[in-house]
Homo-oligomer: A and B are copies of this chain.
């Protein structure tokens, strides 16, 4: 195993640390979706997590893992949304300041979520460079400590607890699927499957219009997507060195899906599970439906990553 990668004990300890602050999210299923998929699917509903996304797990764990002295000037991050809310929530819990650098095109409910949690918001151009520069400035000015959205073992260990919980309730899963953006959830899920399951293989779904992880998984290097064009706004980032290394060792495959397939899966979840998810969150179900033969008659877990969608655009 790689040096410093979260161990089984690390993930168990992480779970104990964050348990009082997170929701034990329900696991739902639907006969209709099982029929469509040709297998038994168990949905771990992280859209019903605090701040509406699994990111609460990693953000809270990373913040709680820091020494009191380290966080006295606050914590900061850059994020298009859900990790931003996670860091804002963690700061509120710790009673310290949060500084969030957000791209100017971040979805409104994610922006509002951060504001309502009392964080200081700094908007930037929607590029990785602008985000990173924004954070650098904040650190220099305030002394706040940076919590990376995924290239951080405490964050990865936090995200790993979602599939740990899933496996506690469904120990016989043959496979677990997650979406992949920066790879925090996917690498954490890979670790949990390795540590807490005898047989569960881990797969990711990735949008065709942000297909960096599938390339990185083939080459073994952090690659960029050939082009960015997808409805799945939470999955635009590349992997990092830390997440890629874990993914190479623990993940079976990364499956590409189109935006049409993502939207069809999103509708199925709205209609048959009666819950609200964001487009990124529908990606693993889309991948499962596209690759039915791979999962035929199996027990499959899907981590539903989040539900922070702009309903005013969709509905009202």
- The residues of A with any CB-CB pair to B shorter than 8 Å are 26, 28, 32, 47-48, 52, 109, 116, 267, 270-271, 273-277, 307, 311, 314-316
Contact = CB atoms under 8 A, between A and B. Distances in A.
Q: Which of A48, A267, A274, A307 has the most CB of B within 10 A?
A: A274
Contacts of A316: 267
Nearest to A24: B26
A315 B279 CA distance: 14
A26 B32 CA distance: 20
A129 to B, nearest CB: 33
Contact of A275 (B109, B274, B314, B315): B274
Q: What 10 A-B pairs come out closest when comparing CB atoms?
A: A274-B307, A26-B26, A274-B276, A47-B274, A275-B275, A314-B315, A315-B315, A270-B311, A52-B274, A48-B274
A262 to B, nearest CB: 13
A76 B28 CA distance: 30
Given A26-B26, A48-B28, A116-B32, A109 B271 contact: yes
Contacts of A277: 274
A263 B265 CA distance: 27
A32 B26 CA distance: 20
Contact of A311 (B47, B109, B271): B271
A208 to B, nearest CB: 21
Nearest to A304: B274
16 contacts: A26-B26, A26-B48, A28-B48, A32-B116, A47-B274, A109-B271, A267-B311, A270-B311, A270-B315, A274-B275, A274-B277, A274-B307, A275-B275, A275-B276, A314-B315, A315-B315
Nearest to A53: B274
A276 B48 CA distance: 12
Given A26-B26, A32-B116, A48 B275 contact: yes
A46 B33 CA distance: 19
A270 B274 contact: no
A60 to B, nearest CB: 14
A50 to B, nearest CB: 8
A316 B271 CA distance: 11
A273 B270 CA distance: 14
A270 B28 CA distance: 17
B273 A48 contact: yes
Nearest to A274: B307
Contacts of A267: 311, 316
A48 B276 CA distance: 12
Contacts of A26: 26, 48
Contacts of A315: 270, 314-315
